[in-house]
Chain A
Amino acid sequence: MNTPLRRVGLAMLAMVVLLLANATYIHVVKAADYRDDPRNQRQLLYEYSRERGQIVSQFGGTILAQSSKTNDRLQYLRKYRSGPMYAPITGYYSWRYGSDGMERASNDILTGEDERLIVRRLSDIITGRDPRGGHVQVTIDPAVQQAAYNAMVSRGFTGSVVALRPDTGEILGMVSTPSYDPNKLASHDGDKQEQAWASWNCDPAAPNCTHNNPMLNRSVQQTYPPGSTFKLVVTAAALESGMTMDTPVESASEVPLPGTTGITLENYAGATCPGSTLRDALAYSCNTAFAKLAEKLGAQKLRSTARKFGIGMDDLSIPLDVEQSHLGPLDSSAVLYQSGIGQRDVRLTPLQDAMLSATIANGGVTMKPQLVKELLAPDLSTLEEYESEELMDEPALSSQNAEVLRDMMIASEANTSGEGKRSDLTIASKTGTAEHGADPKNTPPHAWYTAFAPAHDPKVAVAVIVESGGDRGLAATGGSVAAGIGRLTINAALGEG
């Protein structure tokens, strides 16, 4: 009977070996997956037990987010200054819903987990100090952010404003409305978190839903048809192909869509273009001219120029992940016609739209947009300073052509209505009025405005989108709805708001 008993003993041994092998797999191989799963709150609870670093502005050291000591189990409470205003930048930090925005993108620094902080943490342990996280200094200018946010909110607009420094790519303002208050998600009261989360994440079509996706960061997570603002890309491609601002272009009030019968593409309000040069076409935003121009340039040329502006990049991180802007398939003349005026399947993020102006302002060179200026250790010494860098290997257009395009944009601004015009400031701009939806002619269009100023010494480039006509309904245009907000933002950036 001992032989089978010995075998049973071996079976017992085998069972434990099997358990150990499996435990090794779980503890070692799969450990990171399980540890970082968003549903695993252990890491978050651990992080809460330490002082999380601050998110501060590079201007005046304004603190956007900081942790303060509490008496409950989650030892530190995260507080956000002007929560809804800065929410697209800070994101939120919730023990129930994880984190987003800079809270997520810079989590390692803020918690002190970053490897550059490990040595300092060791010395903290030895000296008996509570471990603390590092700080993140963002490029945001509170004045710009506030002006743009107030402009949008006071009018009740849904949309986004982005302001960039053309020469560095620093993001001075990034507004998305409607917004949400991250303080509610940082609450240590789970029920409050849950209520807030539920009210912000309801289906806007539902009868008792009072919000319209406030947690969506429209500046970088949402793409829209750019409408006429896309004509900047088409014009850049045309200039780079050897045309000049005086090159004659189509001026008819409507052109038939190739390959179709009876369907036409027409100018705004069915008007004939007041001029017949490229310059006039842009200044008056003549659709027929750009439809034909796009077809003449061809899909390849359009795509390569767009690419140099950053359109089509799927890995842009500022370090928030930026949704890919794209042209869609340009596979027929009809599609090229419609794409030439920023319709059809062309989609840009508001950030990308601001980058169009910024590129032209910066002599044709697109700078990589960035939200982080500096990473700081808990003692405020610098860990890493972000250098500005060019987004692409080659400029989108030559500096001469950029100047030409700038002058064309100045002419466009002269034809643009809207509030906030100043005689002492030259702005270069382009408006857009983008149709969208299943019934475009009867859906209030998106109103766009992209600009930079001062035109001859650019300090700021902006893009504004107001979804679905703002307060003007079907009659909305980029000039009447969006331009005023853009100009307010520019003024704030120039210190004259």
Chain B
Amino acid sequence: MNRPLGLVGGREPEAATTNPGGAAPATRRGTELLMLAFAAVIMTTAIVLVDANQEQELTLAIVWYGLAYLGIFAVAHLAVRRWAPYADPLILPCVALLNGFGLVMIYRIDLALTERATQVGGEFTGVAPRQVIWTVVALALFLGVLIVIKDHRALTRYSYTSGLVGLVLLSLPAVLPSAISEVNGAKVWIKLGFFSIQPGEFAKILLLIFFASFLVSKRDLFTVAGKRVLGVELPRARDLGPIVIAAGVCLGIFVLEKDLGPALLFFGVVLMLLYVATERFIWVAVGLTIFGVGCVVAYQLFSHVEQRVANWIDPLATYNEPGGGYQVAQALFGLGTGGVLGTGLGAGRPETVPEANTDFILAGIGEETGFIGLAAVLMVYLLLGMRGMRGALAVRDTFGKLLGGGLAFTLVMQVFVVTGGVTKLIPMTGITSPFLSYGGSSLLANYILVALLLRISDAARRPQQQSRPRPVQQQAPIADAHTVMVQASSGGGQVPVAQPAPPVRPATPAPPAAPAQPANGSAAAQGPAAPANGGESASTSDKASEQAEGTEQSDSTEGESKS
């Protein structure tokens, strides 16, 4: 893989070409398989090391976990071959590496906890087998997403539905009795007998889909209509309303549930989506200001926020307080003891940190594999995020861009929030490490996330389908073409002025042309209802086809400007 990571270097050449009828780009499934094998080697080495350091002899567990692991990722690979053949070849191996390493750490902490339990005469049932089962379930969901969602643009049809379902899922634990929903002070669970789920993890993706499709449908309204205040054009309240309300409600729920990490994550992602959709940095500035005020208010109002901040400023000072810095301090002790090279897998004491196999799994990794291991894990996350972002850059439709970018950003931001918390960069907020941490909900949700990223990257590199000839795509119906011109002179003309100057790199595509869509709030509010692939029946409404055309056209414009 001597290609640039994708972000800075622009699109992959084959993705940029949109020549219909040309040679199909390489699927690169072979690369994926090779990289998966590489991940499997690392995983196997890691578990052998753990066993060697812990038991002094190799156990059958290795074979068991190894086979399960190989089976899971063989199926995943075959599924990608079948249903997303042009998908990015590095995304799945990155996931395999993280998931595998997570399994090894969970298994390793199981060993330590079992030993500790035996010492005090108790018993401890390992959770690694459960995590394997969760991974299998996650794989099923992964397959389901790849099979059912043939085209990510179809998701825009369900934007309000997913938004509503997301809100319900998010708020469910808050309204349920604490006995069912509260674990360690955070009311974010639904306990169902022998297993529990965190519906918020799924809500995260559903809400992301809602925000992305909503913003795509309203995109122009944010930039053209509205008053100018202090040189900034504010969108009309009715355009912005739903998103502000939805975001406010979500944040309110998080506050009720005392779940700070997801709140922070959610807020960051909404800001990022707003910024990308409107291309105006002012939204980030406004959002950060609101965030700052919110932080101060939360600090004044909630004792648990104040405690977290105190633990962050000096975890050693609040070490002995109830709910104090003990956990963070122990994590830091572990990291410090690990040093640059680490104590060696299986040779440290990661179980000393409470929640060692969930929120604080990175502390264990940092202790046993040292700075080098922690940095490597962070780089794998970055690689995964960047490959996702690269798919978003290359895909042709704005919804795909927004959704892909949002998903990739979610992943990296989550890593930032949890790693920052564990390493005392920011206050600890309680959130899982994607793919690494023990926990079914987090794993399932992140596999869905990755399936969507694969879907988007597949769409980005898949050769254009022949069902609709190119010229027709570029020439909109006369009525729409007229609309485009009007917009180009009034609203569209302003776009380049209002946004920052485009980078001078030749590879950079021109700013997107304004989509051919009337500035009509009520029309757009109905949502994009058109099936994204052409060839619909004639009964498709005008507005719907308008929408589809607009999307297509703006995308092809971008595509053309490249070549």
- Which residues of A line the B interface, CB within 8 A? 1-13, 15-16, 18-20, 22-24, 26-28, 30-35, 37, 39-43, 45-46, 72-73
Give every chain B residue within 8 A of A22 (Cβ-Cβ).
Answer: 420, 423-425
B500 contacts A by Cβ under 8 Å:
yes
Are A3 and B339 in contact, with the CB atoms below 8 A? no
In whole angstroms, how far apart are the Cα atoms of A40 and B334 in the complex? 8
Give every chain B residue within 8 A of A2 (Cβ-Cβ).
Answer: 393, 401, 508-509, 512, 558
Q: Mark B269-312, 1 if CB is under 8 A from A, else 0.
A: 00010011101000000000000000000000000000000000
B541 contacts A by Cβ under 8 Å:
no
In whole angstroms, how far apart are the Cα atoms of A33 and B375 in the complex? 21
Given contacts A19-B423, A28-B340, contact A42 B385 (CB under 8 A): no
Closest residue of A by beta carbon distance from B397 = A1
B289 to chain A, nearest CB (A): 17
Closest residue of A by beta carbon distance from B347 = A46
Are B348 and A42 in contact, with the CB atoms below 8 A? yes
Give every chain B residue within 8 A of A10 (Cβ-Cβ).
Answer: 7
Contact of A9 among B7, B116, B332, B367 (CB under 8 A): B7
Closest residue of A by beta carbon distance from B329 = A39
Give every chain B residue within 8 A of A8 (Cβ-Cβ).
Answer: 272, 275-276, 389, 405, 409
Contact of B336 among A9, A16, A32, A72 (CB under 8 A): A32
**Majority SS of interface residues in chain A?**
helix
Are B349 and A42 in contact, with the CB atoms below 8 A? yes
Give every chain A residue within 8 A of B349 (Cβ-Cβ).
Answer: 41-42, 45-46
In whole angstroms, how far apart are the Cα atoms of A299 and B502 in the complex? 81
Are B336 and A27 in contact, with the CB atoms below 8 A? yes
* Binding-face segment, B129-137, B200-208, B258-266, B411-419: B411-419
In whole angstroms, how far apart are the Cα atoms of A22 and B416 in the complex? 11
In whole angstroms, how far apart are the Cα atoms of A26 and B402 in the complex? 36
Give every chain B residue within 8 A of A27 (Cβ-Cβ).
Answer: 335-336, 338-340, 366, 370-371, 374
A5 to chain B, nearest CB (A): 5
A selection of 10 A-B contacts at a CB cut-off of 8 Å is A1-B277, A1-B401, A5-B392, A12-B413, A27-B339, A27-B374, A34-B335, A39-B316, A40-B333, A46-B343
Chain B interface: which size bin? 35 or more
Q: Which among B366, B392, B412 has the greatest number of chain A C-beta atoms within 10 A?
A: B412
B184 to chain A, nearest CB (A): 22
Are A35 and B336 in contact, with the CB atoms below 8 A? yes
Give every chain A residue within 8 A of B272 (Cβ-Cβ).
Answer: 8, 11
Q: Assuming A5-B393, A15-B416, what are 20 further A-B pairs, CB within 8 angstroms?
A: A1-B276, A2-B401, A2-B558, A5-B392, A8-B275, A8-B409, A9-B408, A12-B409, A16-B378, A16-B415, A22-B420, A27-B338, A27-B366, A31-B336, A31-B339, A32-B336, A39-B333, A42-B334, A46-B343, A72-B119
B542 to chain A, nearest CB (A): 25
Closest residue of A by beta carbon distance from B336 = A34
B398 contacts A by Cβ under 8 Å:
yes
Give every chain A residue within 8 A of B503 (Cβ-Cβ).
Answer: 3, 6
Are A16 and B348 in contact, with the CB atoms below 8 A? no
Contact of B405 among A5, A20, A30, A32 (CB under 8 A): A5
Closest residue of B by beta carbon distance from A13 = B382
B255 to chain A, nearest CB (A): 24
In whole angstroms, how far apart are the Cα atoms of A1 and B392 in the complex? 10
In whole angstroms, how far apart are the Cα atoms of A2 and B389 in the complex? 10
In whole angstroms, how far apart are the Cα atoms of A12 and B268 in the complex? 12
Give every chain A residue within 8 A of B225 (Cβ-Cβ).
Answer: none
In whole angstroms, how far apart are the Cα atoms of A15 and B408 in the complex? 13
Which 10 interchain pairs have the tightest Cβ spacing?
A34-B336, A27-B371, A40-B333, A9-B7, A12-B412, A15-B416, A22-B425, A31-B336, A4-B276, A16-B382
Are B382 and A35 in contact, with the CB atoms below 8 A? no
Q: Which among B334, B339, B508 has the greatest number of chain A C-beta atoms within 10 A?
A: B339
In whole angstroms, how far apart are the Cα atoms of A30 and B334 in the complex? 12
In whole angstroms, how far apart are the Cα atoms of A5 and B392 in the complex? 8
In whole angstroms, how far apart are the Cα atoms of A26 and B332 in the complex? 7
Are A37 and B333 in contact, with the CB atoms below 8 A? yes
Are A1 and B512 in contact, with the CB atoms below 8 A? yes
In whole angstroms, how far apart are the Cα atoms of A42 and B332 in the complex? 12
Are B337 and A35 in contact, with the CB atoms below 8 A? yes
Are B416 and A19 in contact, with the CB atoms below 8 A? yes
Give every chain A residue within 8 A of B329 (Cβ-Cβ).
Answer: 37, 39
B59 contacts A by Cβ under 8 Å:
no
B416 to chain A, nearest CB (A): 4
Contact of A73 among B116, B374, B420 (CB under 8 A): B116
Give every chain B residue within 8 A of A4 (Cβ-Cβ).
Answer: 275-276, 279
In whole angstroms, how far apart are the Cα atoms of A167 and B262 in the complex? 71
Are B7 and A19 in contact, with the CB atoms below 8 A? no
In whole angstroms, how far apart are the Cα atoms of A87 and B231 in the complex? 78
In whole angstroms, how far apart are the Cα atoms of A31 and B335 in the complex? 7
